Structure 1
Amino acid sequence: MEDISSLAKELKAHLPWHQARILFLAQFILGLMRGRSCNLYRVAEEFQSKAQEESSYCRIKRFFEKYTYCYEQLGKLILHWLNLTSYTLCMDRTNWQFGSQHINYLVVSIAWQGASIPIVWTCLDKSGGNSNADERIAIMKRVLKLIPAKKIDGLLADREFIGHEWFDWLDKQGIVCRLRIKDNTSVMGSGGKPIKAVQLFRNIKLYQVVTWHSKRKVSGVSLYIGARRSVDGLLIVVATKKPETMVEDYYKRWSIETLFGCLKSRGFDLESTHMTNLDRMDKLMGILALAFTWCLLVGHWSYGDAKQLPLNKHGRPAKALFRLGLDILRRVLKNSCAKSDQVNFQMLLHVLSRT
Structure 2
Amino acid sequence: MRYSLTDEIKKLIDRFPILSHLSRKKILAMYILSLINSRNVQFCEIANHLNPKVKNESNEVRIQDFYREVHLDFDQIALLFFCIFPSFQKLDIVIDCTEWDFGSYQCNILMVVISNRTLTLPFYWELLDNKSGNSNTENRIDLVKKCLDIILPQQISLFVGDREFIGHTWFKYLKDNKIIFFSYS
Query: TM-score normalized by structure 1?
Result: 0.41
3-state SS in 1 of match to 2:82: helix
State the Cα deviation string for residues 191-226 of structure 1 (Å, max 9, x = none): xxxxxxxxxxxxxxxxxxxxxxxxxxxxxxxxxxxx
* Residue of structure 1 aligned with 2:165, choices 141, 161, 165: 161
Q: How many angstroms does 1:137 deviate by?
A: 0.6
Q: How many angstroms does 1:71 deviate by?
A: 2.1
CA distance in 2, matches of 1:116, 1:54: 27
**Alignment partner of 1:148 is 2:149:** no
1:75 — aligned with what? 78
**Alignment partner of 1:121 is 2:122:** no
Contact 2:97-2:133 at 8 Å conserved across structures: no
State the Cα deviation string for residues 95-129 of structure 1 (Å, max 9, x = none): 23232122322222234336643222223233351
**1:146–1:62: structure 2 CA closer, same or farther, 3 Å change rule?**
same
1:307 — aligned with what? none
The AA in structure 1 aligned to 2:174 is L
Contact 2:113-2:124 at 8 Å conserved across structures: yes
**CA-atom RMSD, angstroms?**
3.7
Percent pairwise identity: 29
1:95 — aligned with what? 99
1:241-260 to structure 2, matched below 5 A, reads none
**1:131–1:26: structure 2 CA closer, same or farther, 3 Å change rule?**
same
Q: How many angstroms does 1:135 deviate by?
A: 0.7
2:141 — aligned with what? 137
Q: How many angstroms does 1:41 deviate by?
A: 11
1:20 — aligned with what? 23
Contact 1:106-1:122 at 8 Å conserved across structures: yes
**Alignment partner of 1:63 is 2:66:** yes
2:178 — aligned with what? 174
3-state SS in 2 of match to 1:146: coil
1:317-336 to structure 2, matched below 5 A, reads none
Greater Rg over alpha carbons, structure: 1
Q: How many angstroms does 1:138 deviate by?
A: 0.8
Query: TM-score normalized by structure 2?
Result: 0.71
Contact 1:133-1:166 at 8 Å conserved across structures: yes
**1:6–1:103: structure 2 CA closer, same or farther, 3 Å change rule?**
same
Larger relative contact order (C-alpha < 8 A, sep ≥ 6)?
1
3-state SS in 2 of match to 1:169: helix
State the Cα deviation string for residues 134-178 of structure 1 (Å, max 9, x = none): 110111011001111232233221110111221222222222222
CA distance in 1, matches of 2:167, 2:26: 45
**1:128–1:60: structure 2 CA closer, same or farther, 3 Å change rule?**
farther
**1:61–1:79: structure 2 CA closer, same or farther, 3 Å change rule?**
closer
Q: Which runs of 5+ in 1 are unaligned?
A: 181-234, 236-355
Q: How many angstroms does 1:87 deviate by?
A: 2.4
CA distance in 1, matches of 2:15, 2:7: 14
Q: How many angstroms does 1:14 deviate by?
A: 3.2
**1:127–1:114: structure 2 CA closer, same or farther, 3 Å change rule?**
farther
Aligned pair count reads 176
1:1-355 to structure 2, matched below 5 A, reads 3=3, 6=7, 9-16=10-17, 17-18=19-20, 19-29=22-32, 38-39=42-43, 43=47, 47=51, 57=61, 60-83=63-86, 84-113=88-117, 116-127=120-131, 129-180=133-184
